[in-house]
């Protein structure tokens, strides 16, 4: 279902697409091994970072999660190991959830010990995940254009089909599951698409799709709310960070080489934390949304 396009201007970082215009608060290069997802767990006060540490689809056993302070100090570089190519991270009620190719792992944040592990036998390429207020976990499967859910420790298909545009980024807010589409007709060998993906949400109750961006937008990866009704997203292929207003206006605010991955944003601190997957760097910027 298409959303109604609201013709309202969104004033945000006007004529400003240079990352150098945003003050760098922290930058980490030591210990970075293809960092993919940065996630701030508000309850513990720590940042968790997934490291693919090699090819994104290879089961090599060398992927891991780091635990980092907001001041940029690495508390434990290999806080959790035994993963292949970990990507999406989200937490709920003291548990960190991790997507890893065809597996979802739950880790107790207080102890760093594994709580559960779900192997999804039909998964093609699990990427991002989201948790809602009820503790339901949603996991995107890019290759199969599918979203799984884990509810009461049971895995099932939440939604699937070409209308999901090979979903990558996910974010659950209230009864909405926000999705960043990678694009249409995805080539599994090259990850190229016929058209770019769009930003939309799925109503969790009805499973209806509502477009936020009407036009093809990007190979969308990370999604975070900006604290003022809008969103920050990344385009992994183009290397860009963009802001998208609730009515769909898109503004590019940063541009890098390929590999701008799953970002974190802390509205109170105005801190945007961006993993540069191909450059093995994690950078924190001060970014203030202006609507």
Give the model's pLDDT for residue 12.
Answer: 41
The predicted pLDDT at position 291 comes to 62
Q: Do residues 177 and 202 make contact, with C-beta atoms less than 8 angstroms apart?
A: yes
Task: State the pLDDT at residue 183.
Answer: 98
What is the bridge-based pairing of β-strands 176-181 and 183-184?
A: unpaired
Q: CATH class for domain 19-286?
A: mainly beta
How many residues are listed for the chain in this entry?
A: 291
* Rounded CA separation 64/83 (Å): 6
Q: Over the chain (291 residues), what is each successive 10-residue block's mean pLDDT?
A: 35 45 85 97 98 95 98 97 98 99 99 98 97 98 98 97 98 99 96 98 98 98 96 98 95 95 97 97 91 62
The confidence score (pLDDT) of residue 9 equals 39
Of the candidates 261, 224, 258, which has an alpha carbon nearest to the alpha carbon of residue 244? 224
pLDDT at 249: 95
């Amino acid at each position: 279902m298409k959303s109604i396009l609201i013709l309202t201007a969104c004033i945000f970082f006007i004529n400003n697409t240079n990352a150098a215009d945003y003050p760098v608060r922290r930058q980490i290069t030591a210990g970075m091994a293809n960092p993919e997802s940065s996630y701030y767990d508000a309850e513990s006060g720590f940042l968790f970072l997934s490291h693919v540490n090699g090819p994104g689809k290879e089961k090599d056993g060398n992927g891991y999660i780091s635990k980092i302070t907001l001041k940029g100090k690495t508390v434990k570089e290999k806080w959790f190991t035994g993963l292949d190519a970990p990507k999406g991270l989200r937490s709920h009620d003291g548990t960190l959830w991790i997507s890893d190719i065809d597996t979802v792992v739950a880790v107790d944040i207080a102890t760093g010990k594994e709580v559960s592990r779900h192997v999804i036998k039909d998964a093609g390429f699990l990427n991002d995940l989201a948790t809602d207020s009820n503790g339901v976990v949603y996991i995107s499967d890019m290759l199969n254009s599918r979203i799984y859910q884990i509810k009461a420790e049971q895995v099932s298909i939440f939604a699937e089909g070409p209308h999901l545009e090979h979903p990558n980024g996910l974010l659950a807010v209230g009864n909405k599951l926000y999705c960043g589409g990678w694009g249409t007709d995805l080539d599994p060998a090259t990850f190229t698409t016929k058209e770019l993906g769009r930003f939309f949400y799925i109503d969790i109750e009805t499973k209806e799709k509502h477009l936020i961006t009407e036009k093809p937008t990007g190979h969308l990866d990370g999604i975070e709310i900006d604290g003022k009704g809008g969103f920050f997203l990344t385009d992994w292929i183009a290397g860009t960070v963009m802001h998208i207003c609730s009515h769909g206006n898109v503004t590019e605010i940063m541009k890098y080489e390929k590999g701008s991955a799953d970002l974190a944003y802390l509205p109170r601190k105005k801190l945007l934390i961006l993993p540069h997957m191909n450059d093995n760097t994690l950078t924190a910027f001060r970014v203030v949304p202006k609507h």
